[in-house]
Amino acid sequence: MNVKEALIKTLAENNGEYISGAALAEQLGVSRNAVWKAVKALEAEGYAIESVTSKGYRMSADNNRISAGFISSKLETESLGRNIILFDEIDSTNNEAKKIAAAGEAHGTVVIADRQTMGKGRMGRSFVSPAGTGVYMSVIIRPDISVESAGLITSAAAVAAAEAVEKVCGQKIMIKWVNDLYLNDKKICGILTEASMGLEMKALDYAVIGIGINVRSVRGMFDEELSSRASSIEDETGVRPDRNVLCAEILNRLEFWLSSIERRDFLHEYRRREYLTGKLITANVGNSSVVGSAVGIDNNANLMIELPGGEIKHLNSGEANLCRVKK
C-alpha cells in the first residue's frame, strides 16, 4: 500500500475524528512532510480532507470520492469486497464483472464505477448513472448452491441493500418486488443479477449482482418521466451519505445473507418491507397482464397475486406495479 492509500485508510478508520500530522507520520512510517504531500495529492484527486492547525487532519463528512481503501476500512466480510476494481467511468460495471468472471476472476471481487455510460437495468432498460451521485457496483459470486436457490440471490441482495441504505439514512426502505428499493414511494435503487450456469445447467458457475443506488441529489439529471418515479437518498431525506460507507455496508450485509441463502432467512426481512403486498396491482403473466391483489411473497420469493375469481398466481419473474386510480 502506498502512502496515499494508507492515509485514506487511516483517516477513514478514524471516523471523522482529527488525527495529528505527527501521529499520522508515525502510524504510516513516513515524515510529516510526506503526510502533508500525500494530503495535497489526495485533495487534487478530489478527496475532501479538512486540516486544522492545532488538531491535524480528518476526512470531511462531505467527502464524495469513492476509494477502495476507504471501502476496505469499513468491511467486516471474509470474501466480498476483498478485491475492489474501481473505475472513474465505464460502460457498465455488470459487463466488466461478467467479462472478468468468465476469465476466472475470484468469488467476492467487486467492480465499482463513479459513472456508467451504458448502465443496464432489467428488461433491456437503461440505468441512468451520472458521476458523483450514485453507487454503481457489481459483485461476482461463485456460491455453492442449487439452481433453485440461485433464483433467490436478487431478493437476498435487495434485503442487503435495503438494510444498508436504512443504516446510512435512518429511514425505512421498502422493497418493491422483485428488486427495486423505494423511499417515499420513489425508486432509489435497482438490482440486476446476471448468472452463468455450468455446462450441465445443474449448478451456478458464477453470478454478477449489479446494484445501482441514487445516493446524492439527482435534481436536473433525470428527464421528466424518470423524475416522476425515481429519486435519490439525498433528495428524499436530506442526508448525504458517504458512498464508501454505503458500499461497505451493502457488502457486509450481502455476505451475511448469502451465507444462509438456502435457509431463506432473509425472506422475513424481505416480506416486512415488501411494497406491493396488500395492494391492488397489475402484473405481467406470460404475454398478458393481469389485475389482482398482491397477497404476499412465497418461500421462493415469488409474488403471490389473488385474481378476481379467487385463484392465487405465483409470479417468479416479470414486473408488477400498483394500479393507479384515474383522476
Binding site for ligand BTN (CB under 6 A): 92-94, 116, 119-122, 125, 127, 136-138, 190-192, 210-212
Q: Which is nearer to ligand BTN, 194 or 262 (CB)?
A: 194
Question: Which residue number, 41 or 102, has a Cβ lying nearer to ligand BTN?
Answer: 102
* Nine-digit cell string for 127: 440505468
Q: How far is the CB of 134 from ligand BTN (least distance, A)?
A: 7
84-90 vs 110-116, strand pairing mode: parallel
Is the Cβ of residue 15 or residue 184 nearer to ligand BTN in the bound state?
Answer: 184
What is the closest distance, in whole angstroms, from the C-beta atom of residue 209 to ligand BTN in the complex? Answer: 9
Identify the bridge partners of residue 30 per DSSP, sorted by sequence position: none
Q: How far is the CB of 93 from ligand BTN (least distance, A)?
A: 4
Listed residue (280, 277, 310, 311) closest to 296, CA to CA: 277
Taking the complex as a whole, the smallest distance from the CB of residue 135 to ligand BTN amounts, in Å, to 8
Cβ at position 4, least distance to ligand BTN in Å: 26
- Of 23 and 226, the one with the shorter C-beta distance to ligand BTN is 226
Residue 159: Cβ within 10 Å count: 25
Written as one string, the DSSP assignment of 261-318 is GGGTTHHHHHHTTBSSTTSEEEEEETTEEEEEEEEEE-TTSPEEEE-TTS-EEEE-SS
Quick check: helix, strand or coil at residue 139? strand
CB of 207 to ligand BTN, least distance (A): 13
Query: Least CB distance from residue 65 to ligand BTN, whole Å?
Result: 18
Q: 94 or 231: whose CB is closer to ligand BTN?
A: 94
Q: Is 28 helix (H, G, I), strand (E, B) or coil?
A: helix
Rounded distance, CA 123 to CA 285, Å? 14
Which residue, 68 or 137, is less far from ligand BTN as judged by CB? Answer: 137
Cβ closest to ligand BTN, residue 125 vs residue 172 = 125
Nearest to 298 by CA among 270, 273, 321, 322: 270
Nearer Cβ to ligand BTN (94/149): 94
Q: Which is nearer to ligand BTN, 70 or 127 (CB)?
A: 127
Cell of 151: 433464483
Q: How far is the CB of 123 from ligand BTN (least distance, A)?
A: 7
CB of 6 to ligand BTN, least distance (A): 29
Q: Could you tell me if 190 and 122 are in contact, meaning their C-beta atoms sit under 8 angstroms apart?
A: yes
Nearest by Cα to 195 from 151, 157, 156: 151
Helix (H) or strand (E) holding 179: none
Provide the H-helix boundaries in the chain.
3-13, 21-28, 32-44, 68-73, 93-102, 147-150, 153-169, 224-229, 233-237, 243-258, 266-271
